[in-house]
C-alpha cells in the first residue's frame, strides 16, 4: 500500500501542476479527494489493514492528504493570478492620451509673449487686496459704484477679491524702479454672469511710466498688440470714456470675430455676442496724476499710460476661434476642450 500511496501522490502533483484553469483543478479535486475519490478510497480501506500496521499507514495517509490539499491551494492561487493578468507582458503598452494646456492658459502665454517682445516685464500682484490698492489709490471715491457690495466681492470690510488687475499699478510704482514697463496678468472677480461675463475671469494690465510719455505711445502699443494677436484683417477703435484712474480715458473695441463685424450671423439672426459688430475689450488711458501721486511718483516729471483687458474676451475675439458664449471657456465638456 505504501507504493500505491506514493504513486497516487506523484500523479496528483504532476497533474495539478499541468492544470490551466479552475475547472480542471476542481475536476482533479473531485477525482482524488471527492466522496468517491481515489484517495478517499484508500482512507476507507484503512480498516482492512492489520492492526499493527494500521497506525503507521494512517499517519502516512494523513501526511499525503495534507500534501494534496496544499498543492491544490497553491495551484488555485497561481491560476487566479494568471487569469487576472490576462495580457502578454511582451506586448508594447498603449500610450495614454496626452493632455494640453487650457485655452485660457494658452491665451495668457501668447499675450505675455507679445508684450515681452517690446520690453514689458511680467508681474503678479495679490488677488485678495486692500481697499486702498483696489480703489482709493486709483482715484476712486468712496461713493463710486464699483465699491458697492453688489458689484465687488468683499472678504472683510477692508479686504476684497480684486475686481481688476489695476491694483498692481500703485504697487508697481511703489517699488521705485523707474522707468516702468509692466504687464500684470491675474484672476479678477465681479458679481456678473451672462453670455459675455463670468464671476471669475482673467485680466492683463499694462502700465508704462517714464518721462515724456504721450497718448501716441499708448495708441502705438495697442495697435502693435492688435496686429500681432488678432491678425491684419481685424479692426480696432477708441471711444472716449471716463475712468477714474486715467485722464484722458478710452474704451477699446474690436470687430467681432463671430459675425466678422457685421452684427449678423450667416443665418440672418443677430449676433448674440456683440449685437452690433463691435465688442469691447477693455479700457485704457493716460495715468491720472492722482494715481501717480499715490504711487509716490511726481506727476510734474513723469507721465504714463495704462490699459486693462479681459483675457477671455480678448481670446474670444481672435480670428478663427468662434466662441459665442464666454462661459464655454470654463466648460468641463471634453468635446469642447479638445478643440484647443
Residue 88: partners with Cβ closer than 8 Å, 6 or more residues away: none
Q: How, if at all, do strands 246-255 and 121-123 pair?
A: unpaired
What's the whole-number mean pLDDT along residues 200-215?
Answer: 94
User: Domain-by-domain residue ranges, the chain?
Assistant: 2-85, 103-337
Put the strands of the sheet holding 303-310 in their side by side order: 121-123, 180-189, 200-210, 303-310, 278-287, 246-255, 236-241
What's the whole-number mean pLDDT along residues 48-64?
Answer: 81
* Calpha distance 242→124 (Å, rounded): 26
Residue 334: partners with Cβ closer than 8 Å, 6 or more residues away: none
pLDDT (tens digit, 9 = 90+) per residue, 291-336? Answer: 999 999 999 999 999 999 889 888 877 766 767 777 888 888 888 8
What is the third-level CATH fold of 103-337? BirA Bifunctional Protein; domain 2 (3.30.930)
pTM of the model: 0.66
Secondary structure element (H or E) that encloses residue 254, with its range: strand 246-255
pLDDT of residue 223: 86
Q: Burial level of 232, CB count in 10 A (0-12/13-18/19+)?
A: exposed
Least confident of 52-66, 158-172, 291-305, 320-334: 320-334
Q: Is the model more confident about 49 or about 148?
A: 49
Cell representation of residue 90: 511582451
pLDDT of residue 245: 92
For the chain, give the percent of residues with pLDDT over 90: 35
Cell representation of residue 142: 468712496
Least confident of 69-73, 79-83, 175-179, 207-211: 79-83
Q: Is the pLDDT score of 156 beyond 90?
A: no
Q: Is the pLDDT score of 230 beyond 70?
A: yes
What's the longest Cα–Cα distance across the chain?
A: 125
Cell representation of residue 86: 490576462
Secondary structure element (H or E) that encloses residue 48, with its range: none
Q: Is the pLDDT score of 247 beyond 90?
A: yes
Secondary structure element (H or E) that encloses residue 206, with its range: strand 200-210
What's the whole-number mean pLDDT along residues 199-217?
Answer: 94
* Calpha distance 143→254 (Å, rounded): 31
Q: Is the pLDDT score of 204 beyond 90?
A: yes
pLDDT of residue 84: 66
Please name which of 193, 173, 200 lies closest in space to residue 184, comparing C-alpha atoms: 173
Residues 128, 187 contacting (CB under 8 angstroms): no
Amino acid at each position: 500500500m505504501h507504493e500505491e500511496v506514493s504513486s497516487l501522490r506523484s500523479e496528483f502533483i504532476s497533474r495539478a501542476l499541468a492544470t490551466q484553469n479552475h475547472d480542471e483543478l476542481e475536476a482533479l479535486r473531485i477525482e482524488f479527494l471527492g466522496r468517491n475519490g481515489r484517495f478517499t478510497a484508500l482512507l476507507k480501506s484503512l480498516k482492512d489493514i492489520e492492526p499493527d500496521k494500521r497506525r503507521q499507514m494512517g499517519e502516512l495517509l494523513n501526511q499525503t492528504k495534507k500534501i494534496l490539499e496544499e498543492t491544490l491551494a497553491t495551484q488555485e492561487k497561481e491560476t487566479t493570478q494568471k487569469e487576472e493578468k490576462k495580457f502578454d507582458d511582451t506586448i508594447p503598452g498603449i500610450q495614454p492620451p496626452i493632455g494640453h494646456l487650457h485655452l485660457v492658459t494658452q491665451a495668457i502665454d501668447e499675450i505675455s509673449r507679445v508684450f515681452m517682445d517690446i520690453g514689458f516685464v511680467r508681474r503678479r500682484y495679490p488677488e485678495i487686496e486692500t481697499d486702498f490698492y483696489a480703489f482709493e489709490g486709483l482715484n476712486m471715491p468712496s461713493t463710486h459704484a464699483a465699491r458697492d457690495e453688489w458689484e465687488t466681492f468683499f472678504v472683510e470690510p477692508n479686504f476684497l477679491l480684486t475686481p481688476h488687475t489695476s491694483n498692481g499699478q500703485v504697487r508697481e510704482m511703489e517699488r521705485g524702479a523707474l522707468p516702468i514697463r509692466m504687464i500684470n496678468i491675474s484672476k479678477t472677480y465681479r458679481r456678473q454672469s451672462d453670455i459675455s461675463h463670468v464671476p471669475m475671469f482673467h485680466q492683463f494690465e499694462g502700465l508704462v511710466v517714464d518721462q515724456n510719455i504721450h497718448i501716441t505711445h499708448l495708441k502705438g502699443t495697442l495697435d502693435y498688440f492688435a496686429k500681432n494677436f488678432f491678425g491684419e484683417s481685424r479692426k480696432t477703435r477708441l471711444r472716449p470714456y471716463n475712468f477714474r484712474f486715467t485722464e484722458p480715458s478710452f474704451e477699446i473695441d474690436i470687430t467681432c470675430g463671430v459675425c466678422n463685424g457685421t452684427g449678423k450671423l450667416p443665418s440672418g439672426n443677430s449676433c448674440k455676442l456683440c449685437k452690433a459688430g463691435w465688442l469691447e475689450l477693455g479700457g485704457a488711458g493716460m495715468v491720472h496724476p492722482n494715481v501717480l501721486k499715490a504711487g509716490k511718483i511726481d506727476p510734474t516729471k513723469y507721465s504714463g499710460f495704462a490699459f486693462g483687458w479681459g483675457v477671455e474676451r480678448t481670446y474670444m475675439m481672435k480670428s478663427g476661434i468662434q466662441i459665442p458664449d464666454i462661459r464655454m471657456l470654463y466648460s468641463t465638456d471634453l468635446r469642447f476642450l479638445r478643440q484647443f
